[in-house]
């Protein structure tokens, strides 16, 4: 499996705002996540549930910008800026690096988020 092509495909889906679809299509069943806020998920379904809840709380997408991605073997890093108005009136502006580890089938087994600010 060509990991670089998978990264490009996944990043394109995320950049369109289809974050739930990206998890459903590109995560392995045993995938786990961790982030700089000490949160995380274990298993694909937990991440789908988390992203469905998050996506449902977005009132307006002001912008999602994919800046760059790099791939080294089965590890990738993608830089994004996310700008959302939330349903509760708050605003989210994240500049993130998303590090992913991929398996031989081209599925994400681990995804970790880093604040790029």
Non-local (6+) Cβ contacts of 42 within 8 A are 32
Round to whole Å and give the CA distance between 41 and 50.
8
| Inter-residue contact 101 to 74 (CB < 8 Å) | yes
On whether the pTM is more than 0.85, the answer is: yes
Sheet containing 58-72: give its strands across. Answer: 40-42, 27-35, 108-115, 91-102, 75-86, 58-72
In this predicted model, what pLDDT tens digit does every residue of 5-58 receive, in sequence order?
A: 999 999 999 999 999 999 999 999 999 999 876 688 999 999 999 999 999 999
Does residue 35 or residue 84 have the better pLDDT?
A: 84
Average pLDDT, stretch 80-101?
A: 96
Helix ranges restricted to H, the chain:
3-15, 19-26, 44-56
pLDDT at residue 117, rounded to an integer: 64
The domains found in the chain, sorted by start residue, are 3-115 (3.10.450.50)
């Amino acid at each position: 499996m060509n990991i670089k092509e998978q990264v490009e495909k996944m990043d394109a889906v995320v950049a369109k705002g289809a974050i739930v679809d990206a998890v459903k299509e590109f995560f392995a069943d045993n995938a786990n996540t961790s982030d700089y806020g000490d949160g995380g998920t274990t298993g694909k379904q937990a991440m789908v549930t988390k992203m469905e809840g998050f996506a449902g709380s977005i009132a307006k997408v002001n912008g999602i910008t994919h800046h760059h991605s790099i791939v080294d073997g089965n590890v990738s890093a993608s830089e994004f800026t996310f700008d959302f108005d939330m349903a509760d009136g708050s605003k989210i502006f994240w500049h993130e690096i998303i590090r992913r580890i991929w398996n031989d089938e081209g599925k994400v087994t681990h995804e970790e988020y880093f604040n790029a600010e």
